[in-house]
Amino acid sequence: MVGPVRPQFVLFGSSIVQLSFCNGGWGAILADVYARKADILLRGYYGWNSRRALEVLDHVFPKDDSNPPSLIITYFGGNDSMGPHPSGLGPHVPLPEFIDNMRKIATHLKSLSDSTRLIFLTCPPVDEERVNKNRSQYLSHLVRTNELCQTYSEACIKLCQELDVKVVDLFTAFQRRDNWKTDCFTDGIHLSAEGSKIVVAEILKVLKEAEWKPSLHWKSMPTEFSDDSPYDLVAADGKTTLNPSEWTFHRAIQWD
């Protein structure tokens, strides 16, 4: 353990989560935004579906943890929504089972503590043309369509409304951007830096608007060790110091 203890924000999901700290990913951006405010913990598993998530749920989020997460951002559905393989193998999960799995995940996460907050992310769209072009000699043909993505996305939204869980509609958010197919993905499925910026903006919007107490929006959270100090940088007047604890000028985007 490393002290002092900060609020923990856990990113839980499949490859869009596992890859969120590379190439300007949304996890890395959140880690910067919440520097000295919260620890961003990564629990991402490439290729996983909601079935596999249920298998490890008690291991990743044990109910007897004395320091439960303050926030869990969960993403599954992209792999579940893939078309079924004739062999019965692969990540596809039928829609009714996907909904039931996500309900079980939400119920478990809610039970961790009264103060643990949840945000679910829906399936983003895919660039179908690029997905079909980028065929691998090592993989069977991937059946990924926006019709399937939309169906699973809408089901996730409906479930979250039923369970009173905050949800980010990535399927819609991505398509608000011009040239989203070329700008938002590295391969038609996984997120580019531009795609990750959309994810961050949508998450921060939810956090800002949520009426949670305490607020988990970064501007409302205390900054660790932020007291003024004579060891801070000396100001231009040569007599005082400047406290850099809240400086954000290094960011290319000034996040709200």
Catalytically active residues are: 14, 187, 190
- Residues facing 241 on adjacent strands: 234
State the Cα–Cα distance between residues 194 and 178, nearest whole angstrom.
Answer: 12
Distance of alpha carbon 87 from alpha carbon 116, whole angstroms:
40
Closest CA to 109 of 63, 76, 161: 63
The dihedral over CA atoms of 135, 137, 143, 145, expressed in degrees to the nearest 10, equals -20
Of 27, 21, 23, 32, nearest to 248 by C-alpha is 32
Give the span between the Cα atoms of 49 and 131, in whole angstroms. 19
- Beta-strand relationship, 233-234 and 241-242: antiparallel
